[in-house]
A and B are shown apart, each in its own frame.
Chain A
């Protein structure tokens, strides 16, 4: 078999998939602009994606903050820099771990949910039925989910940042004998608005990517229950890869050397 032909076919298929996904994302993200805007569908998606994700994101954040505090303390002891624990922990959480972990948890929870929901609607003709009822599925199903996830993710990440820093504070104060008020003051003096802001910008981008992947794979799914299962799996994997890849790109843009 010709290796070039195999590689070429794979590359063309990948580019075609990225192209189709980009067109879908643009169509879905801007479908609401020409109206109508389905407020009820948007609020329902915002509640499910935003508010209902808080418990799992909060749990992840508190344990991440706690484990990070132990690791930073242990590592910085080697060069007597353990007093910098609050500063290192807070900047790590708001810039990287808060947005990253929250996005991965929301991807696992919501991107898969969107793919399964839209996939089930696709294979049972519900999306086709919607078109015949003079309602554009992009406006009713896709746009509210993309908009809600993009807008809610910064709030989720802000909560994850606060809970993650609190998890580190708990370990620092009760296990590592830091003074609680000094710990908070150090963070307050060190952390800048830019640190938090870049994390929130990342959150919005992650939200957009998560919802596009979930909606795209669900909307395009075919072939009954097996197709819905494959769509769900693809949505979660593609979301995770997109989060990690875009995180690197954004970090390299935000960091000043």
Chain B
């Protein structure tokens, strides 16, 4: 690869790595896996950089690669699965604001528990639509499906998520809004 192209990729990767990792985290629910997914996606893009460097919306292409990488990873029968049977240390965090703690904990619960119970493609649609703020057409391009499918997947995903959140709220005594 030419030095100029390599520099172009370097700049793109440095600018979008964090954003891609966040999206990957919402897909998989684990920061380590998210980092692996982000790096795998960027490696794939580097190998195809000569062909894709002139695309109009490179970040949309990157999201598409990330989504495909995550779905491929999920399909693998030997996929790594973290054993979550350990106990986290119960230590106080002096930096937290008590006013926002409740909301943050609820959000983390939302992601870790509720969103991870939504089927993968519906979860991907919800993340792209509500976290990345993409239009239906952009999500359709990223998902490689029609806009109608995006709409139906969004509706089903929201219904599934609401049902799970309601169930979680009922079990924790929190009133669903």
A binds B: no
